[in-house]
Chains A and B, each alone.
Chain A
Amino acid sequence: MGSPFLRLTGISKRFGDFQALKGVDLEIEKGEFVCFLGPSGCGKTTLLRIIAGLEAQSAGSIEQAGRDISRLPPAQRDYGIVFQSYALFPNLSVADNVAYGLVNRKVPKLQARARVSELVKMVGLPGSEDKFPAQLSGGQQQRIALARALATSPGLLLLDEPLSALDAIVRVHLRQEIRSLQRKLGVTTIMVTHDQEEALSVADRIVVMNQGSIEQVGTPMQVYRDPATPFVADFVGRINVLPARAEGSHRVRVGATAFDCSHDCADGSEVKIYLRPEDVLARPIVAGDSNVFDAQIDKIEFLGSYCLVRVNSPALGEHRLTVYLSLNFLAEHALEVGGSLPLRLMPDRMRLFA
């Protein structure tokens, strides 16, 4: 593989005594859709603003398309940006907003107008050229902001929590549109988000960040299935954490019970088992399966087609476990709070962290 489209090397940022970024290294390939995911204050937005040149890094360098852009001001970099607040110019029409960057490049009027109508059509709002931003809904405004950012065909698209200000339904719809638009145009895209579902559903790769450092870089599947750190396991999706002790190879003891586990750990070491609620199976369980135990239902939280069920079991000692069970399954077995059922921990899904 050649050199990456965007290469961050040792990016650090401090605000006074606060170290917002601690030496971040990252490479992004051309045409990739990358999400920066993390809790607020993890440094994801700061990192995006440094890539945009809106903040200066305290140390480190950035290379884009083979060019060192570390010290270039925003206007000399090559990107389009969309903010959570839309940042549309309220006194300019949709057409003037979208053409804002074109006018400055001395694009002939007719050509600019054609480009504008092409763009508003592309973001699904044909015919809205003469409207003012205040006449559009939030989702529509964000589409126009996207059109404005793409108008000059930048090599890099930066999205700073673009969907956070929108209603849940609009959010889900728009993120898929952004995704398919990005595929079509092939523009390298970085989106900052704190919404894991959003990141999982649109990204080619997710960069999980915490306290100014990268915890893991991987595909959505890797990040979900094989979290590299306890933080990632905890932050992305729901997860059970069970304190345990390793016993020989591929055995861990929780409370009074030893379970099989695909991971290997030093004998006798204290570990924590990370296991997602869907990786605790209620069926099918057949005779001879390992890791099976009887559990009793503590609490049922109704979530629609699925229920989040909290169980306890003598096999786990004082620890509680949360599992996903379908509404149909609960109905079929007439399970209620206090009822009991056999459960199985999937050995290959158990992640062990020290």
Chain B
Amino acid sequence: MTTLAAPRPHTAVRLRATASDRIAWLALAVVALLLLAFLAAPLLAILLKAVQDNEDRFVGLANFVSYAQTPALLQSLWNSLWVSGVVTLVTVPAAFAFAYALTRSRMPLKPVFRGITLIPLLAPSLLSAISLIYWFGNQGVLKHWLTALGFEEIYGAPGIVLAEIFAVFPHALMILVTALTAADARLYEAADSMGTSAARKFFTITLPGAKYGLISASLVVFTLVITDFGIPKVIGGNFNVLATDVFKLVIGQQDFQRGAVVAILLLAPAVLTFAVDHLVSTKQTAMLTARAVPYRPKRNPLFDALMTAYCVIVALLMLAMLGMAIFASFASFWPYNLTPSLRHYTMGLFDAEVGEGFINSLTLATGTAVFGTALVFTGAYLLEKTHGAGPLRTGVRLLAMLPMAVPGLVLGLGYIFFFNEPGNPLNGLYHTMALLTLCTIIHFYTTGHLTAVTALKALDAEFEAVSASLKVPFYKTFWRVTLPICTPALVDIARYFFVNAMTTISAVVFLYSPETKVASIAILNLDEAGEMGAAAACAIMIAAASTVATLLFWLLARYVERRTQAWKA
């Protein structure tokens, strides 16, 4: 027998690395490099700019001080805060009631209501702002309603608040539906057996159960509103907010230093949201045990009717918002000649070169969907199903979650600072479609990542162990087993990337060139040029393209389901 070295209790034995281990580590290193170059470095560039003067000398907090001494900028900060606060206070209860109707009543046509509330996700957020201008603007059909309520005009805070409520409603709704769906029927049965009143059940079971969902929804809504650029740009008038300030400071005045300061201010609520959400999600999962029995609402004619009435009102408001944009986009010459024509579409598409922008948008969306899905899924797979290279793994895991905490506007700004630097070897990417695509992938990385991780976690944890024992390298199992099983999740991730790339404004607004201008940006330019009809037409086209894409993805998902999921019993 060979003599063995005495066991050293504190130095762990390492298994020899195989070729396939090395392949996995190399792939993980590539993912890490991409995330470092296109996420960490741009963010670092912002932090650096915020503490440097315009000749790159370190000045400590001088930029922050100068910001705090500019009353106009402070006014924007206050505006942003209170507007976001008001939108949160209105949207979260409204969405909660809607989610409650969807999950806890026997209301008819639930899928229809659910579908209608998803409309805002298919169009750029500023669609609602354009619509509001047609309803309540200077030449709006219902302008007198506004004046009757004592508001002077829709431009400014009232318009921003209303448009944002419409735009963020689906986001809040999705979170709250999830929170309310996760209910244990046993708790209600126990309460019923003790003769508990409906109100008491609501306050002692329902509300505490949805507590984390409410917190999460509030934070998400607040963050979305405070970092949104499109709506305040279109309907804000002279009412300045942080998001529009960033744009003016950086693009208008080339004041990168104070732009960076505002970016950090925008980053703060998002980082807070991220941290709280993380805390909340760990608690939420612990709440629902595997033994819970799903809640099924009982019939209650009065309650069901009330809930239906409420949902009808909300749905009609949503449709009114979308409908007005569609109507206006076809109106020949608002408000004098309302006969339908394709004037705005032809004008927008051909004269204002939106057609080109539309092609760019589709290119961007397709690129984001294809490469984003590949990157996200590969990254998630390597994290979840391969072993070794501990520090690298931890790094990638953190970087994959970071985009959730970075508003698009901030990310775009970071890209300017980082990639526009002449000394940067990646400088050649600036203004290219490749960079726009990468930026959009990173912007929406985390949601895709979480979807992929969830799908991968649902697989048996021992597939890789079995493969290793059968001497099959991990990438063969990835190709033969993991990928086919996860195809539905892949389609879902691709759809998410595609639709968001079609509608996004915030990050790309800093990065486009005349050659790479996308349709959502073209709307802003048309609006600025006073071509409201064409802007509406363009927004509608994006919404239509997103809808068609969603339908196609849905068909693809069904096809894939039939092709690759035949094994499901």
Contacts and interface: CB of A to CB of B under 8 A. Distances in A.
Interface of A: 3, 9-10, 12, 14, 23, 52-54, 56-61, 63, 68, 70-77, 79-81, 83, 85-87, 89-92, 100-101, 104-105, 132-135, 148-149, 151-152, 154, 158
Given A54-B465, A73-B17, A75-B18, A68 B2 contact: yes
B462 interface: yes
B481 A72 contact: no
Given A56-B12, A73-B18, A87 B567 contact: no
A87 B460 contact: yes
Given A90-B567, A135-B569, A75 B485 contact: no
A152 B8 CA distance: 36
B13 A56 contact: yes
B465 A58 contact: no
Contacts of A60: 7, 13
B427 interface: no
Contacts of B461: 85
A72 B7 CA distance: 17
Contacts of A9: 4
B15 interface: yes
Interface string B476-507: 11001100110000000000000000000000
A97 to B, nearest CB: 9
A75 B566 contact: no
Contacts of B1: 3, 63
Contacts, number: 123
A89 B463 contact: yes
Given A73-B18, A101-B471, A58 B13 contact: yes
Contacts of A148: 466, 470
A134 B481 CA distance: 15
Contacts of A3: 1
B21 interface: yes
B468 A75 contact: yes
B300 interface: no
Contact of B15 (A53, A86, A151): A53
Given A89-B481, A134-B567, A134-B569, A81 B13 contact: no
A71 B15 contact: yes
A83 B15 CA distance: 22
A71 B472 contact: no
B462 A83 contact: yes
28 contacts: A3-B1, A10-B4, A12-B9, A56-B12, A58-B9, A58-B13, A59-B13, A61-B4, A68-B2, A71-B13, A73-B15, A73-B17, A74-B468, A74-B469, A76-B16, A77-B469, A80-B469, A85-B462, A87-B465, A89-B481, A91-B481, A91-B564, A91-B567, A100-B467, A133-B567, A149-B469, A151-B470, A154-B469
B296 to A, nearest CB: 27
A19 to B, nearest CB: 9
A134 B20 CA distance: 30
Nearest to B9: A59
B14 interface: yes
Interface in B1-49: 1-2, 4, 7-18, 20-21
A300 to B, nearest CB: 33
Contacts of A70: 13
A60 B500 CA distance: 53
A56 B15 contact: yes
Given A14-B9, A101-B470, 20 more contacts: A3-B1, A53-B468, A71-B14, A73-B18, A74-B468, A75-B18, A75-B468, A75-B471, A80-B470, A85-B462, A87-B466, A90-B485, A91-B484, A91-B567, A92-B567, A100-B472, A101-B471, A104-B472, A134-B568, A154-B469
A56 B14 CA distance: 6
B473 interface: yes
Most buried by B among A56, A61, A85, A89: A89
B446 to A, nearest CB: 28
A74 B21 CA distance: 11
A23 B7 contact: yes
Contacts of A77: 469
Given A57-B13, A58-B12, A132-B569, A74 B465 contact: yes
Q: Interface on chain B toward A: helix, strand, loop, or mixed SS?
A: loop
Given A9-B4, A81-B465, A83-B466, A101 B472 contact: yes
Given A12-B9, A91-B567, A101-B471, A81 B466 contact: yes
B469 to A, nearest CB: 5
Nearest to B387: A54
Contacts of A83: 460, 462, 465-466
A100 B469 contact: no
Nearest to B459: A90
Given A60-B7, A85-B462, A91-B481, A71 B567 contact: no
A71 B17 CA distance: 9
Contacts of B18: 73, 75-76
Contact of B470 (A23, A90, A134, A152): A152
Contacts of B16: 71-73, 76
A115 B31 CA distance: 41
A61 B6 CA distance: 10
A53 B387 CA distance: 12
A328 B20 CA distance: 65
A132 B16 CA distance: 36
Interface string B131-147: 00000000000000000
Interface in B448-468: 460-463, 465-468
Contacts of A23: 7
A137 to B, nearest CB: 11
A10 B15 contact: no
Contacts of B564: 91
Interface in B517-569: 564-569
Contacts of A158: 469
Contacts of A10: 4, 7
Contacts of A154: 469
B484 to A, nearest CB: 5
Contacts of B8: 59
A3 B463 CA distance: 33
A53 B14 CA distance: 10
B41 to A, nearest CB: 33
B111 to A, nearest CB: 28
A57 B7 CA distance: 11
A72 B13 CA distance: 11
A74 to B, nearest CB: 4
B330 to A, nearest CB: 48
A104 B476 contact: yes
Interface in B296-322: none
Contacts of B460: 83, 85-87
Nearest to B6: A10
Contacts of B20: 75
A167 B562 CA distance: 32
Contact of A87 (B4, B9, B463, B485): B463
B463 A105 contact: no
Contact of B566 (A56, A80, A132): A132
Most buried by A among B4, B469, B477, B481: B469
A87 B467 CA distance: 10
B21 to A, nearest CB: 7
A63 B472 CA distance: 23
A75 B473 contact: yes
CB-based closest 7 A-B pairs: A101-B470, A59-B7, A134-B569, A74-B468, A132-B567, A87-B462, A10-B7
B384 to A, nearest CB: 15
Contacts of A76: 16, 18
